[in-house]
Copies of this chain bind each other. A is one copy, B any other.
C-alpha cells in the first residue's frame, strides 16, 4: 500500500475549521441530498444478519469516503445505522443487535482534529478516522458492510496529464476546467474519470463483504447529447476561471499560472456514470435514481461564492498565493450576479443516488 496517488488529490481536502469559508458552514446542499436518500436505504431488501455472518460476534462496519469535517457525515452515518437497526428488527433479529464501527475517510490533509473533536457525544458506534485517497485500497479485504460516499467521487485522483501538457491538443490554455474548452480537453477529463472509477470500484470490491452495500451520491448532467462545453459554459468553475483570467489581464497574476492550474473534477452525465458502474463485474446495481434536488431558492451570489471558496480556497491559495483570494471571490460574486448562474440548473442537472451490491 502507498499513500495518496498524487499530490493533487492530497491537496483537495475541504476547508477545515469553522470560519465563514469553512466547509462545515457551507454544505447545506449536501445535507439535503443525504436526507433524501435516507428513506431509500431502508426500503432496500437485504439481511443485516446475513451480511454480518463472516464476523463473530456481529459487527457492522460502515465507511464514509470523502467525509470532510462534519456535521453532514455524522447525520449520514446515523441515518444508515438507524436504517440497519430498523431492518434488523423487522427481520426478527431484535435480540441480536450488531455493534457498529464507523470509519471516516478523507484525504490526509483533511482537518481530522476538527472532525474527531466534533463527533457526537452520545454516538452508537465506535469511531475511527482513515486518511488517504479512496482511489487506492484503504481497508482490509472483506472488512466493510456498507460504503457511503456523498458529493466526493466527482473529484478526480489527479488533473488529467494532457490538460497540463503544453504540447498536447488537450492543453487547457486560459481555463481552469473543461467548461467552454476544446473537445480534447473534455475527453481527457472523461478518460481520467473512467480510469478513476475503475480504481474506485476495484478497491471497494476487495473491501466489501459479499452482499455488502455501497450507496453513492454524485452530481450528474442529464444532457449527454449536447456538446459538454456548451452545457457547462456558465458553470461556477468556468466563471471562476474567467475571473482569474481577468486578474491576469489586469496584471494581478501571471497568465501562465492560470494555464497551469486545472481543477481535478468531472461531472459525468447519467449515462457515463451508469456505464462506469457497470464496468466492474463484482457489483450489481440495486437502485439508480435521480433525486432532482434543487438548491434552496434563497441562494444569492454571495452564498454561491462562499460555497466555491469553501471547497477551493486551499488549492487556489497554494497555486496563486493566498493574497489573491479576497479579490478573486469578490469578483466571482459580481460575475455570478451578472450572469445569473445561481440557480442549481446551471451548476449541475441532478444529484444521482446509486445503490450497488457486492456480488
Complex formed: what's the CA distance from A132 to B123 in Å? Answer: 12
Q: Which residues of B contact A140 (CB under 8 A)?
A: 57, 59, 99-101, 126
Mostly helix, strand, loop or mixed at chain A's interface? loop
A103: nearest chain-B partner, CB-CB: B128
Check if A54 is an interface residue, CB within 8 A of chain B.
Answer: yes
Q: Is the pair A131, B127 in contact by a Cβ cutoff of 8 Å?
A: yes
Q: Which residues of B contact A132 (CB under 8 A)?
A: 127
A137: nearest chain-B partner, CB-CB: B126
Partner of A143, one of B59, B122, B142: B59
Q: Is the pair B113, A112 in contact by a Cβ cutoff of 8 Å?
A: yes
Check if A119 is an interface residue, CB within 8 A of chain B.
Answer: yes
Q: Which residues of B contact A131 (CB under 8 A)?
A: 116-117, 119, 127, 129
A139: nearest chain-B partner, CB-CB: B126
CB distance from A7 to the nearest CB of B (A): 12
Check if A3 is an interface residue, CB within 8 A of chain B.
Answer: yes
User: How big is chain A's contact interface, by range?
Assistant: 35 or more
Complex formed: what's the CA distance from A129 to B117 in Å? Answer: 12
Q: Is the pair B108, A116 in contact by a Cβ cutoff of 8 Å?
A: yes
Complex formed: what's the CA distance from A99 to B207 in Å? Answer: 12
Q: Which residues of B contact A108 (CB under 8 A)?
A: 116-117, 119
A10: nearest chain-B partner, CB-CB: B117
* CB under 8 Å from chain B, chain A span 40-98: 54-57, 59
Q: Which residues of B contact A126 (CB under 8 A)?
A: 1, 130, 137-140
CB distance from A112 to the nearest CB of B (A): 5
A114: nearest chain-B partner, CB-CB: B113
A100: nearest chain-B partner, CB-CB: B140
Check if A111 is an interface residue, CB within 8 A of chain B.
Answer: yes
Q: Is the pair A117, B109 in contact by a Cβ cutoff of 8 Å?
A: yes
CB distance from A123 to the nearest CB of B (A): 7
Complex formed: what's the CA distance from A129 to B111 in Å? Answer: 13
Check if A225 is an interface residue, CB within 8 A of chain B.
Answer: no
A60: nearest chain-B partner, CB-CB: B140
Check if A18 is an interface residue, CB within 8 A of chain B.
Answer: no
Give A residues with C-beta under 8 Å from B.
1-3, 54-57, 59, 99-101, 103, 108-109, 111-113, 116-117, 119, 121-132, 137-143
Nearest 5 pairs of A and B residues by beta carbon: A59-B140, A116-B131, A129-B129, A99-B140, A128-B128
Given contacts A1-B124, A109-B117, 13 further A-B contacts (CB under 8 A): A1-B125, A2-B121, A57-B142, A59-B140, A59-B143, A100-B140, A101-B140, A111-B113, A112-B116, A112-B129, A126-B139, A127-B131, A128-B130
Please name 7 pairs of A and B residues whose Cβ atoms are closer than 8 Å in the assembled complex, sorted by A: A1-B124, A1-B125, A2-B121, A3-B119, A100-B140, A128-B129, A129-B130
